Amino acid sequence: MYGNDFGTPDEPGRPGLLDQVADAERELRAAADRSVESEGGERYFEALVAADQKIEPRDWMPDGYRKTLIRQMAQHAHSEIIGMQPEANWITRAPTLKRKAILLAKVQDEAGHGLYLYAGAETLGVTRDSLYELLLAGKQKYSSIFNYPTLTWADVGAIGWLVDGAAIVNQVPLCRCSYGPYARAMIRICKEESFHQRQGYEILYTLAHGTPAQKAMAQDAVDRWWYPSLAMFGPPDTDSTHSEQSMAWKIKRFSNDDLRQRFVDMCVPQAQVLGLTIPDPELRWNAERGYHDYTHPDYGELMTVIKGNGPCNRQRMAHRRQAHEDGAWVREAAAAYAAKRREPVNA
């Protein structure tokens, strides 16, 4: 069971995360066949959201809805792109050819996720170039998690298990997001993230069942990645600024703390199978609540990283800027080729 058992011990009948993605996919197909009758405008928008149908790019939508989605989808896309860096750091040093091929495919998937999401954001009336500009100018953020360094090969395992695992828990509800292009992109992304989570879990499982030094390396990686992964769900509900309106618009379906709890409950049995310890002495089953009690991450540290002062923020942005400059000739060549193809043949 390489991490694909997402059920929690307290809810044996609860469907796994991939089943939820499949359900969302069916709902999306059904929603394409609209049953809400209206003339358009605000009331139509509200009726569509209330009926759990999808808002499409051609539909009227409130300015705030559009802005929220642009911000969220752009930050999501930026995270996919910046998130390639910590793992790409290990492609040339993967321990076997097979591991290298798998990691290469995984990092390439993340580039694809960035691409779908930028394309999705463009349906809201922004250009991909303008979003790159905002990222490079530091005006739009990416997930704080990618500002931590990957010190050993086991970090690639811990990222897959914990970081991609947290990403799935966060993103499965987005398959039901009210904005059609975002929901559709998330279906495919979640299926791929599930593979990422399993590959990380399998790396850790192999190390945890190897030599004592390998097991220690796996444990050290989990020790370092656990709390930053919990912080991926964002500030606690009491401090979360955008949540309420996003919930009303059905962009967001669950609160940060609900998703964080779901993630903790998912990881506990998986850590037992790995034979690794989650570095939280307060972690225990609370029969009364029906969930695990756990120690929250240091939200002060999260804010420091978000503000640009994490261990690798400067390195990540410098690398991205350099890659953007190095790729300028490719963009120019592609644009020139596209322009040439548009010219009439007999002109």
For the stretch 98-107, contacts whose Cβ atoms lie closer than 8 Å and that sit 24 or more positions apart, written own/partner, are: 99/203, 102/199, 103/156, 103/199, 106/160, 106/195, 106/196, 106/199
Which C-beta is closer to Fe ion: that of 165 or that of 234? Answer: 165
Site string for Fe ion, 189-228 (x = CB under 5 A): ----x--x--------------------------------
Phi, psi of 263 (to 5 degrees): -65, -45
Q: How far is the CB of 200 from Fe ion (least distance, A)?
A: 9
Which C-beta is closer to Fe ion: that of 70 or that of 163? Answer: 163
Which C-beta is closer to Fe ion: that of 8 or that of 171? Answer: 171
Which C-beta is closer to Fe ion: that of 80 or that of 265? Answer: 80
- Scanning 109-117, 121-129, 323-331, 338-346 for contacts with Fe ion by CB under 5 A, the matching segment is 109-117
Q: How far is the CB of 36 from Fe ion (least distance, A)?
A: 32
Determine, following the binding rule CB under 5 A, whether residue 78 of this chain makes contact with Fe ion: no
Site string for Fe ion, 81-100 (x = CB under 5 A): --------------------
Q: How far is the CB of 267 from Fe ion (least distance, A)?
A: 16
- Scanning 79-87, 124-132, 270-278, 281-289 for contacts with Fe ion by CB under 5 A, the matching segment is 79-87
**Six-digit token pair at 6?**
């997402």
Q: How far is the CB of 112 from Fe ion (least distance, A)?
A: 8
Where does residue 298 fall: left (phi above 0), alpha (psi -120 to 50 degrees), or beta otherwise?
Answer: beta
Determine, following the binding rule CB under 5 A, whether residue 164 of this chain makes contact with Fe ion: yes
Determine, following the binding rule CB under 5 A, whether residue 113 of this chain makes contact with Fe ion: yes
Q: How far is the CB of 231 from Fe ion (least distance, A)?
A: 17
Determine, following the binding rule CB under 5 A, whether residue 110 of this chain makes contact with Fe ion: yes
Which C-beta is closer to Fe ion: that of 196 or that of 250? Answer: 196
Determine, following the binding rule CB under 5 A, whether residue 155 of this chain makes contact with Fe ion: no
Place of tokens 């043949």: 345
Q: How far is the CB of 171 from Fe ion (least distance, A)?
A: 8
Q: How far is the CB of 113 from Fe ion (least distance, A)?
A: 4
**For residues 76 and 169, is the Cβ–Cβ distance under 8 A?**
no
**Which residues contact Fe ion by CB under 5 A?**
80, 110, 113, 164, 193, 196
